[in-house]
Amino acid sequence: MYKKYLTNEQFNFQINRFLEPYYTDDNVQQTIKENAEKLVNEESWYRVWNQLGLKTEKKGRNDLAAAYYQLADFFLAEEDIRKEQTYAAFQRTFYTSIAQVQIKFETVPYAGMLLPIARFSHPGATKTLIFHGGFDSYLEEIIRLTLTSGLLQLKDYNIILFEGPGQGRVLKDGFPMTHAWEKPIKAILDYYQIDAAVLLGMSLGGYLAVRAAAFEPRIKKVIAFDVYYSMLDSFTMKLSPQARTALTKIANPAIASKIDAALTEAAKSNIDLAFKIRKGNEVMQTHNASELIKAAQQYTLKGCEKKVTQDVLLLAGNQDLYVPTSTIALVAKKLVNAKSVTQFLFTEKSGGERHCQVGNKQIAFEKIISFLEK
């Protein structure tokens, strides 16, 4: 069950996101409690988690150390000289904490870049599941989920995980995200000579996957974990109606300048907003809030909903930090040509009410696995 460690919503969400596997570990829960009051800004966030990572790695708890290092890494800007160190520490401890024998690591060439791939194969499997993240996930996060969620029990599926443009190592190599996600998906399908696959996108990947399905007929089923209609919702859902109206006029340079000034000032006292703008600029390779907003406007299903002809699974939580609750009904209504649309809106009563069902991710994977078994 989702826990309240802090009043800061963004900080609290990330602690739950990465330390959910340790909900029943009393020592970890006590450690969080003892350190929570020290987490007052992004700098203290880095120091606390990095120190815990160092201490925990020395004790040989590499799985837990990896989680602490990933937390330490999370709010560091890409240009911060400490980020490569925390990223390396996270990868080092993560990969020593899992059994790699069942994973084949490869790369797929695409548009001048190499997409990192992790493949799980089953002898005689006839189906393929492709799984990717979204705005801020690393390949390792979806590897961990694949190992622990029950997906590997689907013996008829070979599973391909990857980082695409704007994600993980590809972002660090200098390549921004693309809204036309069908292009990297095409590269993967072509490379492995796959005629039919299921596509699973996590977080913003919920948009990316459905968008890709609209333009790639080899995708036969698509899963939005969680659902997105527009990336811009993540930036605007907490803004006033006046502010949202102003964003529709952002093509006007004078208004764009005012928006930049207003959001820069607001971000000084709002960690969530500051993170979204900084990370968004990194992912999109934009330089300020107005450029980011213009780029984010491309990340919408508007105009391509009717092209989705597959079986679709939509998941959502009614306490999502990034996606309005109304989105799932909106997307389901607009997918008029989908072969089928299955939707689940999780609540506090059912569990899984947060973004990507953080706090009870297994409830999401129960629905995903059921959908895959059909």
User: Domain of 216: which CATH number?
Assistant: 3.40.50.1820
Q: What pLDDT digit, counting tens, does each position of 72-114 carry?
A: 999 999 999 999 999 999 999 999 999 999 999 999 999 999 9
Domain ends where: 69, 96, 123?
Answer: 96
Over 90: is that where the pLDDT of 258 sits? Answer: no
Answer yes or no: do 170 and 241 share one domain: no
Answer yes or no: do 128 and 243 share one domain: no
107, part of any domain: no
Answer yes or no: do 161 and 218 share one domain: yes
101, part of any domain: no
Answer yes or no: do 315 and 279 share one domain: no
Q: What pLDDT digit, counting tens, does each position of 281-331 carry?
A: 999 999 998 999 999 999 999 999 999 999 999 999 999 999 999 999 999
Percent of the chain scoring above 70 in pLDDT: 100
Q: What is the rounded average pLDDT of the residues 229-255?
A: 83
Domain ends where: 96, 125, 143?
Answer: 96
- Token code pair at residue 290: 């107005």
Q: Rounded mean pLDDT of the chain?
A: 94
Answer yes or no: do 199 and 64 share one domain: no
Answer yes or no: do 25 and 133 share one domain: no
Answer yes or no: do 127 and 147 share one domain: yes
- Token code pair at residue 218: 């080899």
Is residue 285 a contact partner of residue 195, using CB atoms and an 8 Å limit? no
Answer yes or no: do 170 and 239 share one domain: no
As for how many domains the chain has, the answer is 3
178, part of any domain: yes
Answer yes or no: do 283 and 266 share one domain: yes
Q: What pLDDT digit, counting tens, does each position of 141-179 carry?
A: 999 999 999 999 999 999 999 999 999 999 999 999 999
| pLDDT at site 268 | 84
Answer yes or no: do 128 and 201 share one domain: yes
**Residue numbers of the domain that contains 365:** 114-230+301-373
